[in-house]
Structure 1
Amino acid sequence: MDTIKSNENFKCRYFRIQKDVVKKVRARLPSDDEFASLIELFKVFTDEIKLKIIYVLFDSEVCLCELSELLTINEDEVIRQLKELERLGVVKHKHKEDMACYYLANNHIQHILVEGCIHKSHTD
């Protein structure tokens, strides 16, 4: 019964659609495919290992063995995570001598995380 009462606070008291608002917002909404891609990208932020990898790569290019050492995770698991991050366009790699060095594909991911930290600090 309490749930029903609390839901009342979220309902409109009268039903009236503002057609101009609906039209404007509908025109800006991403497609279902675009939403699916965004959801897949944002899942990166719900995985602790992927998030740690991204933080490590904020300031440095690092090789697989360094990532494994920093995160105290075996190399096979780091490789699995890196492949997923690369598939999503979050990280890239290049070969230096006999090492594969990983780095952030661009700074957009860093901005998203920084904004997330700022948001979290305002809600605490």
Structure 2
Amino acid sequence: GDVAFRILDNINRVKQRGLPDGFNDALESETRIYVCDINPNMLNVGKQRAAAKGYGEDGSLVWVEGNAESLSFQNESMDGYTIAFGIRNVTHIEKVLSEAHRVLKHGGRFLCLELSHVSLPIFKEL
């Protein structure tokens, strides 16, 4: 949910900048962020947090119960794919990556956020 909220915040900032006629309408009508989780309880927590913060009232957030190893989305249907703190929790990482590749449009962006203990000295300073 948090990543979806940040994406929506960025889209709203772009809208507020005053884009050429028609572009705002297209951006608003095309904005759909799918929040997918295998755990229905986590989806409910996300929905509650979204409602409390006023996100998704316009239908821009779509909540989907699903498995990252076998997504229900069509091939090449997504402009972006994010996974945060999830790769480490799946059974078959290669299946998750394959599914991400399958659903991404050509030129789409894959963003993976994982944090762990840093063992390389050069990165400890960052």
TM-score for both structures, normalised by structure 1: 0.25
Higher-RCO chain (CA-CA 8 Å, sequence separation at least 6): 2
TM-score for both structures, normalised by structure 2: 0.25
Which protein has the bigger helix share? Answer: 1
Query: Over alpha carbons, which structure has the higher Rg?
Result: 1
Which protein has the bigger strand share? Answer: 2
